[in-house]
Amino acid sequence: MGRPLIHRSPMPGLGLSMGITITMLSLVVLLPIGALLWKGASFGLGNIWETVNRPRVWAALYLSFRLSLLAALFNLVFGVVLAWVLARYRFAGRRILDATVDLPFALPTAVAGIALAALYAPNGAFGSLAKELGFTIAYTQWGIFIALIFVGLPFVTRTVQPVVEEIEREVEEVSATLGASRLYTIMRVIMPMLTPAALTGFALALARAVGEYGSVIFIAGNIPLRTEIAPLLIVIQLEEFNYDAASAIGIAMLLISFAMLLAINLIQVWSRRRIGYV
C-alpha cells in the first residue's frame, strides 16, 4: 500500500501561520480585553454592578448604544445605495464622490468633530438653517447622530461595493426577461447576494459608532443624563484616577457590544445558509 499523497501549499504551513495569527490576535485584541476583565475581576462583581447601576451610567450607555444602532441602520440603507451608485453608474464627479467616502478614515476624529460642530452650530452653515426652522442640531442628540453617521458610512459602502461590482448585469437582465418587476428583482435576486456583505458593514459601522469619542464630544454638548456618551464617561473616570469605575463601565460596554455583534453574526450565518438553500 502506497503512502497517501500530501498536497503541500506554497504558503507557510499551518503551524507557522497559526502561530503568527494567534500571536498578533493576542497582542492586539485578547491581551487588552483580558487586562480589562482582570481589572474588573479584582474590583469585584458587586462593585461593578454598583458602579454601573446608576442613572448617569445607564443614561450614557442607553444613549450610546441607541444612537449607534440608529446610525448603523441609517448607514446600512444609505451605504448600500451609495455603493450601488458608485459601482453601477458613471457620471461627472464620480471619482471625487468615491474618494470622499474614504474621508472619515483619513480625517482625525477630533478634526471631524470640530468641523461638524462648526457646520451644525446655531451660527454655522447648516445650523443657522435649522435654527430658522425652529430646532437645534449641535449640542443635542441630533448632533451625536450625525457624527456617528459620518464615521460609520464608509464601513458599509466599502464592504458592499466590491460585491456589487461582482454581480453581472446579465443577472438583472435575465430577471427582467422572465417577467420580474424591478422591485422583485431587487428584493429576491439582488438583495440576497448583498445581505452578507451588508450585515458585515453594518456590524463594523455599529462597532465604530459605539466606541466613537473624538468626533462626538465637540458636537454632543456633554450634558449628563441628556447628551453624555459612555466613552466620555469613561474618560471622566480616568481623569479622576478612578480606574475601577472606568473598568466597570468598559466591561458593561464590552458585554453589550459582544451580545449585539453575536446577534448580527448569527443573522449573517442564517442569511448565508438561506442563500445556499435558494
Which tens digits make up the pLDDT trace of 154-195?
999 999 999 998 888 788 778 878 887 888 888 888 888 898
**Number of structural domains the chain divides into:** 1
Does 24 fall in a domain? no
Q: What distance in Å separates the CA atoms of residue 71 and residue 152, rounded to the nearest whole number?
A: 8
- What is the DSSP secondary structure assignment for residue 179, as one 8-state letter? T
Does 259 fall in a domain? yes
Q: What distance in Å separates the CA atoms of residue 149 and residue 240, rounded to the nearest whole number?
A: 31
Does 15 fall in a domain? no
Q: What distance in Å separates the CA atoms of residue 220 and residue 227, rounded to the nearest whole number?
A: 6
Does 31 fall in a domain? no
Q: What distance in Å separates the CA atoms of residue 272 and residue 166, rounded to the nearest whole number?
A: 17
Q: 250, 36 in Cβ contact below 8 A?
A: yes
Q: What distance in Å separates the CA atoms of residue 95 and residue 110, rounded to the nearest whole number?
A: 26
Q: Helix (H, G, I), strand (E, B), or coil: what is residue 69? A: helix
Q: What is the CATH number of the domain that holds 166?
A: 1.10.3720.10
Q: Which residues of the chain have pLDDT under 50?
A: 1, 277-278
| Alpha carbon distance, N-terminus to C-terminus of the chain | 44
Cβ-Cβ contacts under 8 Å for 165 (sequence gap 6 or more): 87
Does 10 fall in a domain? no
- Which pLDDT score is estimated for 277? 46
Does 155 fall in a domain? yes
Q: What distance in Å separates the CA atoms of residue 67 and residue 29, rounded to the nearest whole number?
A: 25
C-alpha cell at 240: 479622576
C-alpha cell at 136: 437645534
- Which pLDDT score is estimated for 10? 59
C-alpha cell at 148: 456617528
- Which pLDDT score is estimated for 159? 94
Tell me how far CA of residue 234 lies from CA of 57, 192, 240, 269, in angstroms: 10, 40, 10, 34
Nearest to 52 by CA among 236, 257, 233: 233
Nearest to 227 by CA among 137, 151, 152, 150: 137
Q: What distance in Å separates the CA atoms of residue 147 and residue 136, rounded to the nearest whole number?
A: 15
Does 17 fall in a domain? no
Does 111 fall in a domain? yes
Q: What distance in Å separates the CA atoms of residue 264 and residue 144, rounded to the nearest whole number?
A: 23
- Which pLDDT score is estimated for 58? 96
Q: What distance in Å separates the CA atoms of residue 155 and residue 160, rounded to the nearest whole number?
A: 9
C-alpha cell at 202: 453594518
Q: Which residue has the cell 438561506?
A: 274
Domain with 219 in it: 43-277
CA atoms within 13 A on the CB side of 49: 3
C-beta neighbour count of 10 within 10 angstroms: 4
